[in-house]
Structure 1
């Protein structure tokens, strides 16, 4: 159903393109501009009777065929078939080789159930179409606008036969999509790529469109099979290998993508940029191990390599990411510290390493409690040659965070305010506005914080806007009916402790709220905070227990969908309860259809059910297929 809707929208656009008048630069046309605008407005409003009258007048004044076509289309929309057929017959006396008129005539007849006569007119269009590319495309668009896919295909095939120097692969592929002849579509796109490898971006864009229209997620598997077969048949077409790597990346199968990219680089060279790009993509999608392998490959090429420094920095960021987000690996702080120091011995301290310096300072302050050393590092780096204003403010942003850690909250407010004033029109400004609003929340100034958050809900950054909206709703939903703000202020204090990595203090405050305000609306939020704290510690089974409490006792509260999705992720990724995870993802689709997690839950459910590949190996994944 979704596929049909998408096709219908595309066809409407194609029909309008066919009907919109186009004139040569030297064509002299005299017409009433106001009348034309009014006719177009009537047409858009589907008031075809008034539009038909005006288009007829404009055509008689200008003599321009496109306006007659619009007039004729109005008659067809009005189902005035007698008048429409009379008009077509009259026009064919002047334009006997106008293939477009035959298409309209055929459509008119088909609307009356005269299918055999309609087919004759459609055949007539094929017989009279002039032998040039533009006319073939115009006729095909006319057929496509009338959903005559088979005749559309025949037009392009006729063009290919009559004009062997011209390519219609791209146009044919689109028709095959409408016909759901996917294998032919794949072949047409691959033929286009074989003809000119510069068409790679065009093919990728077209395949993304096809994948979005695929309701059962079967196209990727089918396309991969066709592509792998073509790679075996034509190993010299390097663009096929690039397309395969791209396809693996779309599926987030970074291990296979990297294997292919490295093999291709060993074969033809000049692959460093692609491997570096793949490493960045994997890093941004939790493909930590694959990103590290990609960076290692670039590092092995030596200091003369273009991406040597970037690879060292990227690899260190992945080590740090793994330390923070995978507590079950029990990575020692001393190990991370030595890795940071070793990395800086290679890459040095300069403008291009600013992001890594910020990570190192954060690690020292928040994990090793070396606050003075961390602040000194940030201040020293601000004076490095080549640092621009934005980088300096990013360093100052981390410095403000450390002031929050130090409990020097007003100094943090001052620094945040300076950054906001200097970055009013870029994402850093909105990011820091959110931090400043949260700081007001931590300090118990709930009304002021909510006012700032309400402004941020209009942020151009969707992530910041969503975070601001979430916290604003949280504050209002837990204070609106209360005569006291004390429970919320305590909860905010707990969040401040959590920000400072002071988990035991945060937990104690949550316990006190639960004990003193046992019937408060914050209880599900307390359970959710405790679950997230346990996840950060790697205590997944205990975290699942708190999420189950929310699932069973607070299924209609704001956090219900968050808790359900997080519980499903724990079952799938940490507790090896895959069947239970699949059932929870399924529940997300039915219980919370408006949740922001629905799309991801649907994809995860399909993966677990076996509809989509997760990490399936094939015999083509080894290097020989591109050697």
Structure 2
């Protein structure tokens, strides 16, 4: 008897599962018809599904929409009126019915139904969210806001601030949207990341953008009435988006004063400013940390950045700064990163690679992990490439590549293998490494790999015919070794080889642009700015739609603006980026600087 009972149960379960699968298949078919605009075919299936599951609001909504698309408004009206009579508690149906009246251009009747739906929320209606969403689905956004607001009034523990803010965003009412987001955060600080993510859809790095201005006003207004850390955090975040790092620093200092043990956010701000070459703010951040922190580790890390800033700004006191730090913190495992930075400085700034190698070999004795060891060996490899001992450099790079195959350091080492092979003129081996790196997890390495790979395949010799790539690689190596005069001489040789002009090094060709761009950068380094602009202009003259065009325009503009102190000429090239290169990564910066110059002229 029990055996027969379980058999019946199993039969019923299998039958239910089969029926459910049939319903799902029918629903997907109906959806396909719906998306393709075949509403009559979709109607037949939705009608069947709805009859089988009359409480499924998705089936009902789709069925109603299909009827409305075929202008069967009376059928919809009868369906909904009868349904409301049978289930008066399902007050979201009034929204459907009201919209159907609106489709029939019976706006007064529609308004009555909408009001009934809103009024039903008074009784803490379980369909409140369904009502509000129905209004949103029909783009009746003001009614949707009313529904959420009434729900919060009826139930003070409910919070639909996020939904309300989203609706204001759909309406384009950014001020009310931001105020709603700020109110939401005011009610619970856990919403901070949610508010930042939501606001980031509208915020740009342009401080004059309308959304940026309205967001700042909303935060400031709230901060006046109810001071909180969250308002400083939001303002700092906004200023960072706008690259106004000094203003962000003001907010971070205010936060630090309330919690004078945590310097992590100021450190992060300093790193961001440093990467964006805003060395003044970066220096202020790290100097602040040095003065305020009591942790030796934080002091060393901040001082490392101060040294990097000194190098980047060509501070003549850099060597003394290194000496001071090693006297203060010693040469030991805690200062490995400082030792590596010092070796880099000695090699690439002071042309003293022998001492750099000595320092790095000693640093290896302090390393306590394979990652620290890899960072030191990476720099050792760089130094050996600098002095032309390529095989020694490749040994170090290959060791790291093997030991940390899928790690970022391993991928960086593999790129250096490719770059060194390129310098040597071994283009086939370089390409083999770069092919793998095009899918690197680190975007910067992947981008560098793609750039070098394309440079090689676009310009490599064919059938032993000179292309100039080997000579260009030599010029790039000389530039890497800070042998700028020799690099410029190699470039001049390139332009003097007649066979190269015949076979590739001609105006408009990739190699022609690359050579001129390298020449311009070398002139910049030697502060020969007019010569640099001549080289850059030749690139544009040859092809003003080339892959380097926006880089060239920006470099010319920056040179005129900051090196030659000629803002009028700079404005001309910023304007070219704005109007001729709308997808350029320099667009926002060019627009901001263009406005600033234009404002100075007006004043």
How many Å separate the matches in 2 of 1:207 and 1:528?
39
1:567 aligns with 2:556: yes
| Mapping for residues 85-484 of structure 1, pairs under 5 Å | 85-129=77-121, 131-132=123-124, 135-211=127-203, 217-234=209-226, 236-266=227-257, 269-270=260-261, 272-301=263-292, 303-304=294-295, 307-323=298-314, 331-332=315-316, 335-351=317-333, 353-384=335-366, 387-479=368-460, 484=465
1:130–1:136 contact (8 Å) kept in structure 2: no
Structure 1 residues without counterparts, runs of 5 or longer: 1-27, 324-330, 615-627
For the residue of structure 2 that corresponds to 1:300, the secondary structure is: helix
Over 3 Å counting, the alpha-carbon distance change for 1:215 and 1:251 in structure 2 is: closer
**TM-score computed with the length of structure 2 as normaliser:** 0.85
2:68–2:76 contact (8 Å) kept in structure 1: no
How many Å separate the matches in 2 of 1:112 and 1:544?
68
Over 3 Å counting, the alpha-carbon distance change for 1:480 and 1:365 in structure 2 is: closer
1:553 aligns with 2:542: yes
1:75 aligns with 2:56: no
Write out per-residue CA displacement over residues 305-337 of structure 1, whole angstroms, 9 at most, x where no aligned residue. Answer: 7733322223222222333xxxxxxx33xx222
Instruction: After TM superposition, give the deviation of residue 489 of structure 1 in Å.
Output: 0.7
Write out per-residue CA displacement over residues 591-620 of structure 1, whole angstroms, 9 at most, x where no aligned residue. Answer: 445x6xx14324421453269999xxxxxx
Over 3 Å counting, the alpha-carbon distance change for 1:553 and 1:139 in structure 2 is: same
Over 3 Å counting, the alpha-carbon distance change for 1:149 and 1:486 in structure 2 is: closer
How many Å separate the matches in 2 of 1:250 and 1:131?
45
For the residue of structure 2 that corresponds to 1:210, the secondary structure is: coil
1:609 to 592, 595, 598: 595
**TM-score computed with the length of structure 1 as normaliser:** 0.82
| Mapping for residues 581-592 of structure 1, pairs under 5 Å | 581-592=570-581
Match of 2:524 in 1: 535
Write out per-residue CA displacement over residues 474-533 of structure 1, whole angstroms, 9 at most, x where no aligned residue. Answer: 223334778523621111111111111111111111111111237323333222111111
Structure number with bigger Rg: 2
CA RMSD of aligned residues (A): 3.2
For the residue of structure 1 that corresponds to 2:439, the secondary structure is: coil
Deviates more, 1:148-157 or 1:127-136: 127-136
How many Å separate the matches in 2 of 1:494 and 1:415?
24
Greater RCO (Cα-Cα under 8 Å, separation 6 or more): 1
Instruction: After TM superposition, give the deviation of residue 36 of structure 1 in Å.
Output: 0.5
Match of 1:17 in 2: none
How many Å separate the matches in 1 of 2:96 and 2:335?
64
Over 3 Å counting, the alpha-carbon distance change for 1:409 and 1:203 in structure 2 is: same
Structure 2 residues without counterparts, runs of 5 or longer: 1-15
1:106–1:118 contact (8 Å) kept in structure 2: yes
Instruction: After TM superposition, give the deviation of residue 258 of structure 1 in Å.
Output: 1.3
Write out per-residue CA displacement over residues 166-193 of structure 1, whole angstroms, 9 at most, x where no aligned residue. Answer: 3333332222222222222232233233
How many Å separate the matches in 2 of 1:456 and 1:311?
32
For the residue of structure 1 that corresponds to 2:313, the secondary structure is: helix
Deviates more, 1:580-589 or 1:602-611: 602-611
Aligned length: 573
How many Å separate the matches in 2 of 1:100 and 1:215?
43
How many Å separate the matches in 1 of 2:93 and 2:597?
46
How many Å separate the matches in 2 of 1:554 and 1:86?
68
